Amino acid sequence: MTDKSIEKLRADSVEHLRYEIWMMQETTQRLLHDNPLHGDAVLKNAVVESCIVHARSLTGFIFPNDAHSDDITSDDYVRDAAAWAAGRGAMPAILVTLNIRTAKEIAHLTTKRLAADDPAKQWPLQEIVAALHVLLKLFTSHAAPDRLDAEVSRFIAGLRPPIETVTYNIYNSLSTGLETKLKFPTDVGTTAPIIRPKS
């Protein structure tokens, strides 16, 4: 039987929910601000994929449409599930796309994977993170304080956009270009390995 007692939910919010948010936030920060990361295609791809998977996990937490009985969802934490469903509304288009692309391009090997040079392969991380920040902050206003640990509520309240000032362009031939702009989405993509014929 699945344990969703108040004590377990509070503990899970500290250990698991906070971890998912922290990893999404930190991987986004590194992609936007860590120049050396973009010189290592394998490491960059791993960080992009990690960021996307954590964002997808948080999307599933907020919108538990296909949740299993042992999944931890926002519905487990709120005082009034109907009010929460009405408050959060429909899933934003950016998160719908995130779910589809994560399934087709990361979690499963499919014919829907995009070529390395396809402009649509870019991930709009700032838009994804911004949408999740809004929803997570709204979630805390609906959460029962005995279920969602106060530390996690404070952590969510303190979330800031991964980029708040204009920075600079980063480009390297081994990695997908990354341009950061104030209030505009930053797109990050994975890089395919270069296979050179043996001489």
Q: Summarize pLDDT for 99-137 with one digit per residue, the tens.
A: 999 999 999 999 998 888 888 888 999 999 999 999 999
Q: Is residue 178 part of a domain?
A: yes
CB 79 within 8 A of CB 144: yes
What range does the domain containing 82 cover?
Answer: 6-188
> Is residue 193, in this structure, part of any structural domain at all?
no
Asked if residues 156 and 136 have their Cβ atoms less than 8 Å apart, the reply is yes
Q: Average of pLDDT values for 167-187?
A: 40
Is residue 195, in this structure, part of any structural domain at all? no
Q: What is the pTM of this model?
A: 0.82
Residue 194 in any domain: the answer is no
Domains: count for the chain: 1
89 near 115, Cβ under 8 Å? no
What is the chain's mean pLDDT, rounded? Answer: 85
C-alpha to C-alpha distance for 36 and 38, rounded to whole angstroms: 5
